[in-house]
Amino acid sequence: MDKTQALSLLWERNIRLNKLTHIEALIEWDRETGAPEKSGEEQAEMLELLTTYYYQEACDPMIQEAVKSVEEADFERSEDKAMVRFWKEYYKTEAVLGKEFVAKWALSVGLAESKWLEARKANDFAIFEPYLETLVSLAREKARIIDSTKPAYDVLLSLFEPDMSTAKIDSLFFKLAEVIHQLLEKVDAKIDDSFLTEDYDKKALHEFCIKVTEQMGFDSKRGIIDLSAHPFTTTLGVDDVRVTTRYTDKSLIDPIASLVHETGHALYDQNASLNPAIRGTTLAQGVSMGVHESQSRLWENFLAKSKAFWSYEYPSLQSAIPSLKEVSLEQFYQAINKAQISPIRVNADELTYSLHVILRYELEKKLIGGELEVKDLPKAWNQMSTFVLGYRPKDDLEGVLQDCHWAGGTFGYFPTYVLGNFYAAMFLEEMKKSFDVDKALSEGNFKLITDWQNEHIWAKGCIYKPSELLRKCTGKELGVNAFCEYLVSKYSKV
C-alpha cells in the first residue's frame, strides 16, 4: 500500500468511525434527557455492542497496514499529520486494550451510570459502591495495559490532556490554592445576593438565556437546547450539537451561567466542524478537555460575569425578571461575583470553584493509586472537603454522589476543569492585545470575540496538540500565573 492509498484509507475510515461515536452520543443523550428509568440495563448492553463494533472496525488489519505505511512519512498538510497522529494514538491507547476489555468497560460504565442515578435518588452511596469498585479496578487495569512504566493516574490523565502529569499539576494546583485561600480571607462575604434567590418566572428566564446563546453565536439550525439533571454538551453529528441546562437551582444566575458555559462548549464543536479540511472527522472537535473547558469557562466567568457584559445584557434581564428593576447594575455585579465556600461544585463561584476540583483530583489520585478503597470514599470525601474547602457535607448528595464523572469512568478528567481556567486566562490575555474586549462586550459585539476564538482555536480542531496550539496562539507554555493575576485583579475589587 503506497502512501497516498494509505492516507486516503485512514481519512475514509476515520469519518466512518466518527459516525459511530455520534450514534453512541445519541444513546447517551437519550439516557440523560428522556429515557425511562428501567431502560438503563439494556441501553448499557447497546453501548457495549456499539463499542465492540467500533473496536473491531478500528482494528481492521487494512488500517493497521495503512498506519505502518505512513508511520515514517512526511506530509505537507498539518491535517494529514494530525490524522496519522490520531491513528497512532488509537493503537497506542485503545487498540491495545483488546476487544473483551473494551466490551467489559462499556457495559460496566453503562451499569454504573444507571446505579449512580439510583443512588442519588435514594441519597445512598452504598447502591453505587460495588459498581464504582468495578470501574476503579478496570481503570487501573486499563492504565497498566496502556503503559505499565508510568503511574496509573498519569496514564489516565494523559487520555484527557496529552503530555500532562501529576507532577506538573501538583505544582500548579498548590500555587493556585494558596492564592485562592489568601483572597478568601479578604473578600466581602456579606455582599447581599438575596435577590438572586427570590422566585422568578422560569419560562421568562429561559427565553432570556436562549437569546444570550443566540447573541453568542449558537446556531439553532445546527443544535438544540434541552433540560437535564446535570447540564452537558454533546455532539451527535457535524450539524447536530446539543446542549442542556436546568432551572432547579436556587439562584437565578446558576441557569444563566450553566447555559452560557455549555454554549461555550457548543460553539467550539459547531465551528470546528465548519472547517472543510476536517469536517466529519474526529479532528473536528476540541483538541483536549482542558482546551475545551477553557472555551466554556472563558464565556461563563471571564466574559459573562464581567461588568462590561452585564452593562449590555442587564436591561434585558430586568425586563425578563421585573424584581431586578429595583437592583442596580453594581449591586447585581457584586452579587453574581460573591465568593464564599459552598457545598456543590457546579454552583460554586468563580473563585472557589477550583478548590472543588482540587478536592476531587486528590481523591481520585488516591483511588487509582490504591491508597484509598471505594468503601472508604464517603468518609475520605468529607475529610478532604473539610480540609480543602472548610466545609463538611451533610450527606452523600452534597458529597460523594455529586458528580456523574466517576460513574462514567472518566478518572483523570476533573483536573482539566482547572487547566481550562489556565488556558482561558492565557487566551484572554492574548485576545486583549488584538482589541478592547470590554468595549466589545459592553456594545454587544460578541462576534468580535467569537471570530477571534474561531481563528485561533475552534477552526483548528485537533490539528495541533494542546501545547502546540497554545504556543501558536500565545507563544507560551501552560502556566498558572495569568489565571492567578486575573483572580487577584478581580477579587481585590469585588
- For the annotated catalytic residues, the residue numbers are 262
Triad 103, 108, 109: Cα angle to 5°: 100
Residue 307 C-alpha cell reads as 461588568
The DSSP element (H or E) to which 233 belongs, if any, is strand 233-237
Sheet with 240-245, strands from edge to edge, namely: 223-227, 240-245, 233-237
Contact 156, 97 (CB under 8 A): no
Could you give the CA distance from residue 224 to residue 242 in angstroms, rounded to a whole number?
Answer: 5
- Quickly list DSSP for 257-303: HHHHHHHHHHHHHHHHTT-TTTTTSTTSS-SSHHHHHHHHHIIIIII
Of all residues in the chain, what percent are helix, strand and coil, respectively (each to 5)?
65, 5, 30
**Could you give the CA distance from residue 53 to residue 48 in angstroms, rounded to a whole number?**
9
Please give the single-letter amino acid code of residue 67. Answer: V
Taking the C-alpha atoms of residue 492 and residue 186, their distance in angstroms, rounded to an integer, is: 8
In the chain, what is the greatest distance between 2 CA atoms, to the nearest angstrom? 72
Of 119, 111, 118, 115, whose CA–CA distance to 395 is shortest? 119
CA dihedral sign of residues 243, 465, 418, 140: positive
Task: Extract the C-alpha cell encoding 206.
Answer: 429561559
Spatial CB neighbours of 364, under 8 Å, sequence gap ≥ 6: 153, 406, 411, 412, 414
Which residues are bridge partners to 206 per DSSP?
none
CA distance 136 to 121: 23
Within 13 Å of residue 374, how many CA atoms lie on the same side as its CB? 18
What span, in angstroms and rounded, lies between the C-alpha atoms of 272 and 286? 8
Burial-class residue 440 by CB neighbours within 10 Å (0-12, 13-18, 19+).
Answer: buried
